[in-house]
Amino acid sequence: MSESEHKQPTRQTSEGFVFVREVGGISEYTLVSNGLTVLVMENHTAPVATVMVTYRVGSRNEAVGYTGSTHILEHMMFKGSKNFNEENGKPFWKVIEGTGAELNGTTWYDRTNYYETVPVEHLEMAIAMEADRMRNVLLQKSDLDTEMTVVRNEYESNENDPSDALQKLIWSTAYQAHPYHHSTIGWKSDIENTNVERLRDFYDTFYWPNNATVTVLGDTNIEAALSLIKKYFGEHPSSPKPIPKMLVQEPKQEGQRRFIIRREASKTMVGVAHKTPPGIHEDTATLLVLVNILSAGKGSRFYRRFIDRGLATAVSIHSFPFHDNGLFEAYVTAAPGVKLENLEKLIIAEYKSIQSKGITAKELKRIKAQVRASMLYQRDGTYSVAGEINEAIAMGDWTMYTRLPEAIENVTVADVQRVAETYLVESQGTVGYFIPKNS
């Protein structure tokens, strides 16, 4: 964060709001009446605006037997609310799609979000609809009866993909106690046994203004956006009880974990994952540099080692910064005739090379240039900035949206070697193979 961003707020406070800070051109306010966090940024490149509501609840807040509840609730949020429903002739989807909006909802470990990118004349409608379903969702059993099978089919379609099955088992093997153990979509039997009472309880626990952030970006001015937010979200009180905290900590891993999935398929894959610290940890920026050195673009180490040599048809590495600890994940899809054992050895060899020899200054310079460019690319349109802010909120601090790129600017060659030595160690690793039954 730059010096200027530490200054005391000087912005005129809009009525009903407290101005908190401005970082990276984004202004943060709190709606005093209910604790709602509001982020706004003007962008006048096109007559369009994006509204996003991020709830600080995800599958990490679920317990055994109720996995997937957050995601099913996200689906149910589209089935109708007090003022927008099929009975009154204003079903949510039909009304909002009628504006030409790009819209959706998504759920992940630490957050659930809903967004609409609309022609700016429909901004008020989008805000009104989001505010209505924040506290007035209908949650009817008849709707859940049909939506459960929709969600189950989403689960089924994911299962058709070997990559998805492999990644799911990597996480559930690496994390035994922490709720990152189960994937966001949940276990199939939990999806099938979900019930309205549980969803209502979940909704009444987490869907409150003081557990949410409303982000508005686009062709509007800040005062106008705040006025609309106050008009609609200001109707809701803050939660009657404190939002519960999730306190489970993963016990220390004491040795490498391995598994094999055998299924009828034509894809052969290996996944190698290592534990990483929480997203707001100081090493996150360096881990992201390391990910990019290994896998960003065709000049990356993994592309050249695996794809250019004909050993693999696809490679991917990610280290998503989450609220709690995460994983540094590498997945390689074998080319015909290439053994997974050899691919695994090569992945580890690349890690060991960085641990012993480090990276080059040229590699680091390339990654920093890519990050700088990507920050500018994100300003092309309104949705991509909102999407990045959404993930920073999930980490626990929306300013990570700008702080992470700033931290990446300060990463050194030595830092990268150090984090590789610290985190990419065998005892903290999980290795999974996906092998076709007929091979």
Partner 1 sequence: MDRITPKIKDTTPIPGLRLVMLHAPVSEVVTIQGSILGGDVFSPADNPLLASLTADMLDEGTQHHSKNVIREKLESVGASLEFGASQYRVWFNLKCLKKDVPLGIRLLAEQLREPAFNEADFLVVQKRIIGSLEQNREDTEVQAKIARGRLLFPKGHPNYPYNTHESIEYVKKASADQLKDFHRKVYGLGEAIVVAVGDFKEDKLLGEVEKAFAGWRMNSLPKSMEFVPALPSSRENKFITLKDKENVDLVYGQALGITRDHEDFESLRLGIRILGGDFSSRLNWHVRNRLGLTYGIVSGIGGYASGYDGFFSVRGIFAPSLLGRGMNESENQIKAWAEHGVTSEELGQKKKTVAGEYVVALETTNGLSSAILGVLERGKPLEYLDEYPSIVQAITLDQVNSAIPKYINSNSITKVAAGSIDSEGKPLNS
Tell me which residues in 70-109 interact with partner 1 (CB under 8 A): 79, 91, 93-94, 97-102
426 touching partner 1, by CB under 8 A:
no
CB of 356 to partner 1, least distance (A): 23
CB of 208 to partner 1, least distance (A): 27
154 touching partner 1, by CB under 8 A:
yes
Closest by CA position to 52, among listed 39, 70, 69: 39
Contact 69/96 with Cβ under 8 angstroms?
no
How far is CA 329 from each of CA 125, 267, 326, 353, 431, rounded to the nearest angstrom? Answer: 41, 18, 9, 17, 10
260: tokens are 């094999």
Closest by CA position to 231, among listed 125, 340, 98: 125
Residues 299-338, interacting with partner 1 (CB under 8 A): 299, 304, 307-310, 312-314, 333-336
Q: How many residues interact with partner 1 (rule CB under 8 A)? A: 72
SS3 content of the chain, % helix, strand, coil (to 5): 45, 20, 35
Residues ≥6 apart with Cβ < 8 Å to 387: 52
Residues 365-384, interacting with partner 1 (CB under 8 A): 365-366, 369-374, 376-377, 379-382
Which one of the spans 8-16, 66-74, 129-137, 157-165 is the region binding partner 1 (CB under 8 A)?
157-165
Rg (CA), the chain: 23
Residues ≥6 apart with Cβ < 8 Å to 165: 158, 159, 261, 263, 434
Question: Per-residue string for binding with partner 1, 399-418, x by CB under 8 A?
Answer: --------------------
- By beta-carbon proximity to partner 1, the closer residue of 25 and 237 is 25
CB of 336 to partner 1, least distance (A): 5
DSSP state of 143: H
- By beta-carbon proximity to partner 1, the closer residue of 121 and 426 is 121
Residue 349 CA, chain-centre distance (Å), reads: 30
- By beta-carbon proximity to partner 1, the closer residue of 49 and 212 is 49
Residues 229-268, interacting with partner 1 (CB under 8 A): 263-267
CB of 25 to partner 1, least distance (A): 11
- When binding is defined by CB under 8 A, the residue of 29, 109, 155, 322 that contacts partner 1 is 155
DSSP state of 115: E
**Strand intervals (E) in 267-426:** 269-276, 312-318, 326-334
46 touching partner 1, by CB under 8 A:
yes
- By beta-carbon proximity to partner 1, the closer residue of 14 and 117 is 117
Residues 102-141, interacting with partner 1 (CB under 8 A): 102, 117-119, 122
